[in-house]
Each structure stands twice: as structure tokens, then as C-alpha cells.
Amino acid sequence: MKILVTGGAGFIGSHTCVELVNRGYEVVIIDNFVNSSKRSLDRICEITGVMPILYEADVRDESVLSEIFGEHEIDCVIHFAGLKAVGESVAMPLRYYENNLGSTIALCNAMKRNSVKKLIFSSSATVYASGAEPPFSEGSPTGGCTNPYGWTKYFGEQIIRDAARAEGDWSVALLRYFNPVGAHKSGLIGEDPQGIPNNLMPFICQVASGRREKLNIFGNDYPTPDGTGVRDYIHVVDLALGHVAAIDYLSKNVGESVFNLGTGKGYSVLEMVKTFERVNDIKIPYEIVGRRPGDLAVSFTNTDRSAGVLGWKATLGLDDMCRDAWNWQKKNPNGYSGL
Ligand code: NAD
Ligand code: WQD
């Protein structure tokens, strides 16, 4: 079976490509490297022994999509390609809507023209409404997003749902990820943020490596046990395996399905720092500063549906996430650009 992976050179895409090849799938990637490096493909090859087929192009380019669907018999598409920086999306909303929604529409059009009927979409826990009560289940209220990035995921889901309903025989999985962290255990692929990291784990890793002096903890006055924000961190390899499970699910089920992918456990920022320090034996200097606008106090998932219907469960814990994230950072202090 051949899988088209949009954004396959990125953080989650590269880990998913490894698990797809391990499962015996043939992988075709389309990526324009707007937020990734071609070197991640060499690393996928080093891990698996197989170099994925690459189309270096923008997913919005429908002529390239036609070429891909003409040259390969694609069974299923996994759509990772998208811009994902929340702050940048506030400053450049049109760029986000154009890229994230334009790519989704172009992809659905090309699938329709070429009778490709299976699609897995990278959505996010950010689509849950800020008033929703954790743990979030797939039926929790959505919308009321606090930034344009979040809206692109919300509208992206809706566009795909409508396209699938109009076709009638599409099988679509909308996967809402919680907080993906960690790296492949080889340390050959991992998260490679450009500039100052927005997310907690890459920031901690850069403090550990001496690239940044200290971590700023955004608020310790939340209604949580230690006052810092609580999140459902999920190891990126578990997340990648969630996509493999979704392919199996789509081969037996027509229509659209939503699945939350998380562990179901919430950890605070301070728990994260302490675990990283213990597992890797490194001190992480930090300072408590004010809250970051738009942050929730608590976010974690109910896992009933992903376990019961999708048949998938995360198996790696916070120790694995902290160990593997640091292993990648240590081996690649400047990410792929240092190679
Ligand atoms: P990433 O930036 O590492 O990967 C995205 C990839 O898509 C990159 O390789 C980038 O070059 C490519 N890309 C972007 N726009 C493109 C376009 N128009 N044409 C071709 N390629 C394009 O991000 P990631 O963390 O791997 O995230 C993958 C997906 O998962 C994204 O859609 C993201 O919004 C979603 N997601 C991520 C998180 C997270 O915390 N990392 C959480 C929830 C959802
Ligand atoms: C986690 C916790 C911060 C950095 C974001 C996006 C979301 C999704 C995943 C794509 C929070 C705290 C962070 C720092 C800190 N992406 N923190 N100091 O905000 O849950 O989710 O990434 O869909 O859309 O919003 O993740 O890693 O940024 O923050 O104290 O330097 O760490 O306040 O409590 P978040 P995060």
C-alpha cells in the first residue's frame, strides 16, 4: 500500500514515515521545507533503510498533486502540511489561512479528481472551546478559538467533513493531537524549531544544552495542584503509531471519525521540569513570570474512544519523553542545520 504524506519532513511527519515504512507501507512525501529540512529524509533512510519518494513542492500546487496521483496509486493520504506557530498566526493571519486552508482544499480537490478516498488530518486539541471542561472527549464543545492557527484547524476539519459528506464514500479520520514531544529513540530525528521555541519541551532542551539561560514558566497561579499549567504530553512515536492505527481503521470504516490522541494524563510545567532534571541528571534553571495570553489552565484527553474504537493507546511515559527529547537535542545541538 502507498501512503501520500504531506509535510512528511516535519516533526510528526518524519516520525510517522518511519513507522509507516516499519509497517511495510510505501511512502511518498510532498513538502516545501518551509519549516523543515531535507536532511530529515536522509535520517528516515538511516533508520529504516528506505528513502521515501519526495516531491519538493507546495501542497497548494494542484498540478504537482495531479502528477503525484498520476504516477502513484495512492491508497491513503496523511495531511500534516501546515504552519503551526500560534503567535505568528496572530501576526500573519492571512498567511495561515492561505497556507493551511488552501493546502487542505487543493488536496481534497485532487483526491476527488483522482478517486482517492482515504484521508487522515492533523487536527489539534486547540479546537476545543475554552469553556469546555477537561478531560476533553471528542464530543466536547469546539470553536471559540483564541488565535488564527486554531481556527485553521477548526475550519480544516469542517472543510474535510463537508467534502467527505458530499462524496459519500470517503473514509476520513480527524486526529486531534494533544502535546506531542520527545523524539525517535535513535536520536536521528526530532523537533527542530526555528528561532526561539514557542513550546515547553524544546525550550527546556535548549536550556539544558546551554543555548538559553533559563526557562520562563508562564504563571504559577492557575487552579492546578502546583499553580502551573497542566497538559497531556504524548510521545511523538506513540502519536505516529496512532496514524498507523487510523489507516487500519479507515480500511474498515466509511465516513468521518474524530479521535483525540493523548495519554489521558496531565502533567504540570513544574512536573515536566522535575522529570527532565531527574531522568537526564541536568539542572534546568527557571523563573516564574506572568501568564501567557490565551493559555488554558488544564488540558488533557479522555481516551475512551481512541482506545475502544480506534484500538490505540499510548505506551510511553513522561520519563521516555524527557529522555528521548534530550537524546535528540544532545546529538543535534543545532537541529538539522548543524549537519
Ligand atoms: P512541522 O512544522 O514540523 O511540520 C509541518 C511540515 O509541513 C513541514 O515539513 C513544512 O515544511 C510542511 N509544510 C507546511 N506548509 C506546507 C505547504 N503548503 N506545502 C508543503 N509542505 C508544507 O510541524 P509538526 O509539529 O510536525 O506538525 C504537523 C501537523 O500537526 C501540522 O498540521 C500541525 O498543525 C499539527 N499539529 C501539531 C502539533 C504540535 O504541537 N506539534 C499539535 C497539534 C497539531
Ligand atoms: C505547554 C505549557 C505553557 C513554554 C501549543 C499550541 C497548541 C498545540 C500544541 C498545535 C503551558 C507552559 C510553555 C515556555 C512555559 N499546537 N510554557 N514556558 O500551549 O499547550 O499548546 O502547542 O496544534 O495549539 O497552543 O503547548 O508547549 O506551548 O505549553 O511555562 O517557555 O508550558 O504556559 O502551560 P500549549 P506549549
CA nearest neighbour of 38 among 8, 72, 69, 80: 8
295 in contact with ligand 2, CB cutoff 6 A: yes
pLDDT value at residue 301: 98
Using the mean position of ligand 2's atoms as its centre, give its distance from the Cα of residue 123 in Å: 16
pLDDT less than 70: residues of the chain:
339
Residue in the structure block whose three cell numbers are 524544546: 202
pLDDT value at residue 130: 85
Instruction: Cite the beta strand spans of the chain per DSSP E.
Output: 2-6, 26-31, 53-56, 76-79, 118-124, 171-177, 179-181, 215-218, 230-231, 233-235, 255-261, 267-268, 286-289
Q: What's the pLDDT tens digit per position in 120-178?
A: 999 999 999 888 999 999 999 999 999 999 999 999 999 999 999 999 999 999 999 99
Q: What's the pLDDT tens digit per position in 191-216?
A: 999 999 999 999 999 999 999 999 99
204: three-class secondary structure by DSSP: helix
Whole-model pTM: value is 0.99
Give the residues surrounding ligand 1 with Cβ less than 6 Å away: 7, 9-13, 30-36, 58-60, 80-84, 99, 103, 122, 124, 177, 180
C-alpha to C-alpha distance for 243 and 111, rounded to whole angstroms? 19
Is 336 known to be catalytic? no
**Catalytic residue (one of 55, 149, 233, 249):** 149
**Contact criterion met (CB below 8 Å) for 258 and 241:** no
Which atom of ligand 2 lies closest to the CA of 272? 32
85 in contact with ligand 2, CB cutoff 6 A: no
Q: Which residues pair with 328 in a beta bridge?
A: none
C-alpha to C-alpha distance for 71 and 130, rounded to whole angstroms? 44
Using the mean position of ligand 1's atoms as its centre, give its distance from the Cα of residue 35 in Å: 8
